Amino acid sequence: MYTPPDFRDDDKDSIRTTIHSAGLASFVTATPDGPVATPLPLFLDETEGEHGVLYGHLARANPQWRQPPLGDALAIFSGPDAYITPAWYPAKKETGKVVPTWNYIAVHAYGPVEFFTDTDRLLAIVQRLTDQHERDRATPWAVSDAPPDFINALLRGIVGLRMPVTRIEGKRKMSQNKSDADRSAIAAGLSASNRPSDRQVASLIPVRKQS
């Protein structure tokens, strides 16, 4: 991932937040037939290894797990993003030398991947993923709410993946390379948007508070 110094995010807490907040990741492998990508919910177990281990599952019918990966796999996690119109920049009126851009947050995690079909390991992954996304609901659903034979039948239709993270890159492009006046104008413009992601990005732009 191309990351200019202004946008590099090396903060472990920030990277962890992006991974945990992402509802869906893009899981990418290089194969003899070319790159293959699958949108997958993944969770990071931070108790394993230096950077943690990613776990998830994909459909057994998905050919990705049957194709031997060439080198490391890649998991892409995305945070909030927003289009930035040049109409917001004060410089537009002054010089006209402004262009559109996009603000966003991204994390790229790399590592070797293992695919497996062991039922106990698969059940543990399904349970952890379910608990992660259900825990904040008023009435959380649990895997144990469904009949065991039904769950076992579904487990036969998926394949688990385990990816120890050996390298991780974080990028946080939030107008850090712009002037204070530009950042304030961008934040104000995004704050007035009807798009929730725009307003979220507005709150992440570093704006210097007036003393």
Residue range 39-51, pLDDT digits in tens: 999 999 998 888 9
Burial (0-12, 13-18, 19+ Cβ within 10 Å), 124: middle
The mean predicted confidence, pLDDT, of the chain is: 93
pLDDT exceeding 90 applies to what percent of the chain?
Answer: 80
Q: pLDDT tens-digit profile of 5-21?
A: 999 999 999 999 999 99
Per-residue pLDDT, 211: 52
pLDDT over 60 at 197, yes or no: yes
Query: Which residues are within 8 A (CB) of 180 and not within 5 positions of it... i.e. 6 or more apart?
Result: 207, 208
Q: pLDDT tens-digit profile of 75-134?
A: 999 999 999 999 998 877 777 778 999 999 999 999 999 999 999 999 999 999 999 888
User: Has residue 124 been placed in a domain?
Assistant: yes
Q: In the predicted model, what is the mean pLDDT of residues 19-24?
A: 90
In terms of residue numbers, what domain contains 159?
5-85+100-176
User: Has residue 170 been placed in a domain?
Assistant: yes
Per-residue pLDDT, 92: 73
Burial (0-12, 13-18, 19+ Cβ within 10 Å), 107: buried
CATH value at residue 36: 2.30.110.10
Q: pLDDT tens-digit profile of 44-70?
A: 999 888 899 999 999 999 999 999 899
> Residue 17 and residue 21: Cα distance in Å, rounded?
6
- The residue among 98 and 188 whose pLDDT is bigger is 188
User: Has residue 111 been placed in a domain?
Assistant: yes
User: Has residue 211 been placed in a domain?
Assistant: no
User: Has residue 134 been placed in a domain?
Assistant: yes
Domain count, the chain: 1
Cα distance between the two ends of the chain = 37
Q: In the predicted model, what is the mean pLDDT of residues 172-192?
A: 94
Per-residue pLDDT, 208: 77
Per-residue pLDDT, 210: 58
User: Has residue 60 been placed in a domain?
Assistant: yes
User: Has residue 183 been placed in a domain?
Assistant: no
User: Has residue 188 been placed in a domain?
Assistant: no
| b/e 55-80 (16+ beta carbons within 10 angstroms → b) | bbbbeeeeebbeeebeebbbbbbbbb
Per-residue pLDDT, 95: 76
